[in-house]
Structures are given as C-alpha cells and as structure tokens.
Structure 1
Amino acid sequence: MSNVLIINAHHHYPFSEGRLNGALVQMADELITAKGHTTRVVNIDNEWDVARELENHQWADVVLLQSPVNWMGVPWTFKKYMDEVYTAGMGGQLCNGDGRHADAPKKNYGAGGTLNGKKYMLSLTFNAPEESFNDENEYLFQGKSVDDLFFPMHMNFRFFGMEPLKTFACYDVMKNADVESDFSRFSAHIEETF
C-alpha cells in the first residue's frame, strides 16, 4: 500500500467557498484509505509548516493536488506554498538544485529531482465547459487540452523527478454544475488510479 498526500489548494473567496474542492478532497481521502492506503491532507488556507511539508512530500508515494483553476492556474495561496516549500526543498529534500553540473552547465536543466519513482495527480475544477478544450474552433484554448494548460504544473513535479497519473477535471462548475456526475466520475477515477 502507498502513502498519499492530498493537497487542497482551494483559497476561500465570498463567491467561491470551496465546497466542491473540499468534497472532492474528502471523497479522495475516504476512497483511498478504504483501499488500504495511508493519507495525509493539507489545506492551503490553514497554517502549514515548510519543514513538515517537505517531510510530507518525502513520505508520499503519490501527491494528489486538488485545485480550482483561477485565471488559468492554481490559486495564489498555493503558489505561495510552492514558492516557500519547493524552494526550501532544493537542497536535496525534493531536488538537488536544478540538475546541472559544472562539467556540463548548459545541459540537463531540471534533472536534479530526488523524488524519483513517486507520482502525482492533478484534480482540477474549472468554470470553463469541457467543450472549450481540445477544439481548435474554440476561442480561448485554441485546441489545447487541460494538460496543455497545466504544463507548468506538470513541469514543477517533473523537476522533482515525479511521474504523472491521469488528470481529472470537473467542468463548468460555476454556471452549469453537475456535481453528482462529477462525484461519480471522480470515484471511478480514484478507483482506477489507486
């Protein structure tokens, strides 16, 4: 069985209280532990400690990032978490610097990860409808996928040597939410992934 770190990256706003992301975190925690895995849950809006978060990443076999998509990325509070925790981990806890060496200073940027063999999963909630992705005729994403949009986040985890699991997404959650369908799909995704 594996150790799973679940990060709830939601940041509370009056118009977005975080109930959906919170429910998905709770579902993930319950479903994953029912399968015999051990979990730890971190809520970004609560207090957290850099040393403890570095230990959480070293402990985890899988990091599940549950996040709303705010302005095409993660909330600023999770970016702050990354800036503080991930930067502190560059001394070997998460990576050995940026992976380059003095004998080849222009090669292998990003290849210094120390979390090799560990995995991560993105679970995202979008205001955008699913149909706005993977369609060249759609205005904003111009045929790009969810994983294209989240390429920088994938690269952050790759920087640590981690491998991706299949991304999960809920779409159109502000205007045309179908929470029961999302929960059913999420449950199936967790069952298949873990």
Structure 2
Amino acid sequence: MRNVLILNGTHPTPHAPGRLNRAFTERATAWLTARGHDVRQTIVAEKYDIDAEIEKHQWADTVIAQFPVNWMGVPWTFKKYMDEVYTAGMDGRLATGDGRSAQAPDEDYGMGGLLGDTGYMLSVTFNAPRAAFDNPADAFLQGRSVDDLLGHVHLTYRFLGLRPLPSFSAHDVVKNPQIEADFARFDAHLAQVFKESAHVAA
C-alpha cells in the first residue's frame, strides 16, 4: 500500500472550468483506493493550509501533479501553491536550503531536498496534438518532448529530492478530444507506474 497525494493544479475559468482534470483526479483516486492505496487530494485553486500541505508531502510516498498545460507551463494558481508551500518547506521540512554549503558555495546547488523516498508523476492535458511532440520537423516545438517542455516542473520536484516516475499526457483535448481512449491509457499508465513504484519500494 502506498500513500498518494494528488494535486489538482487546475485554475477554473469560464473557458476551461477544469472538468477534465477533475475527472482524471477522481479517476486516479478511485483506481488507487480500489487497490488499497491511501489517497489524499488537494485542489490548489481552493483554500489550503500551507503547513497541512507540507505535512501531506512528508506523508506521501508518491505525489501526482494533475494539471492542464497553460501557456507552456502550470496554471498560475498551481505556481502560487508551489511558491507558498515549497518555499515554506525550505525550513527543513521539505528541504534544507538549496544544498550548498559555505565551504563549497559552487557545489551541489539544488540538492538540499529531503523527500528522496518519494516519487512524483506528472499527468497533464494539452490542446496541442501528440504529433507536435518529439518531432524535429514541428516548427513550434522543434523536437521537444512533453518532459522537455515541462523541465521546469521536473526541476522543482528534483529540488525537493523527489524521484521522477513516467509522465502521462492527454492531447488535443479541445479540438479533437479522445477522452475514453485517454482514460483507458491513463488506467494502463497507473498500472505500470504503481507496479514499478511498489517494486522500487520493496
């Protein structure tokens, strides 16, 4: 059994109220709970307690960050959550500074994280089609992968010491949605990740 924290990073707007990312969050919760995992959720667009969020990260064996990619990054309320919660956790609860020491000020930057036993998984939704990624001929992304585009999010979690698990992405969710197929792929992805996660934990 694993302790799993799911962060719903959606910022609801009239144009995009967040139904799909909420559905992925609830689907992951149901899937994991049915298999004996203990799941907690945070909806970052709602009111949260910073100290309680830090405690959730300390409790978790795995963190799932579920969010729509807005303007090539996380929604602003999710960035606000990171700024508030992760900065507060730099007091020795999530990290001990940035990893450097006075004796070696140029070494080990970003290696002060304390959550080395915790894995994280990014699960994201895009308007961009899947064919735009990993494609050197694409004029916009120029060969970048999903994980390349979200490198800043990966570095945020690396800064806290978390270990990456395979990312999931749903594409073209506005102009050409394939939601049922995405849900089926998501279930299969969870089965792969949590089998791997349990193996690592063992």
TM-score, length-scaled by structure 2 = 0.95
Shift of 1:117: 1.6
1:13 is paired with a residue whose SS is coil
Match of residue 47 from structure 1:
47
What does 1:18-37 correspond to in 2, within 5 Å?
A: 18-37=18-37
Runs of 5+ in structure 1 lacking a partner? Answer: none
Deviations 1:28-48 (CA, angstroms, capped at 9, x unpaired): 000011111100000111110
Match of residue 126 from structure 1:
126
CA distance in 2, matches of 1:139, 1:67: 25
Shift of 1:160: 0.9
Match of residue 13 from structure 2:
13
Shift of 1:185: 0.3
Match of residue 80 from structure 2:
80
Shift of 1:191: 1.4
Residue 158 (structure 1) aligned with residue 158 (structure 2): yes
CA distance in 1, matches of 2:154, 2:140: 21
Match of residue 107 from structure 1:
107
Match of residue 94 from structure 2:
94
Runs of 5+ in structure 2 lacking a partner? Answer: 195-202
2:31 is paired with a residue whose SS is helix
1:47 is paired with a residue whose SS is coil
Residue 177 (structure 1) aligned with residue 166 (structure 2): no
Shift of 1:178: 0.3
2:177 is paired with a residue whose SS is coil
Aligned alpha-carbon RMSD (Å): 0.6
CA distance in 2, matches of 1:183, 1:34: 16
Shift of 1:110: 0.5
Match of residue 140 from structure 1:
140
The one-letter code sitting in structure 1 at the alignment partner of 2:57 is H
CA distance in 1, matches of 2:2, 2:43: 20
1:184 is paired with a residue whose SS is helix
2:5 is paired with a residue whose SS is strand
Shift of 1:53: 0.4
Shift of 1:61: 0.5
Aligned residues: 194
Deviations 1:138-171 (CA, angstroms, capped at 9, x unpaired): 0111001000001110010001111000000000
CA distance in 2, matches of 1:68, 1:172: 12
What does 1:64-79 correspond to in 2, within 5 Å?
A: 64-79=64-79
CA distance in 2, matches of 1:41, 1:121: 14
CA distance in 1, matches of 2:161, 2:87: 15
1:90 is paired with a residue whose SS is coil
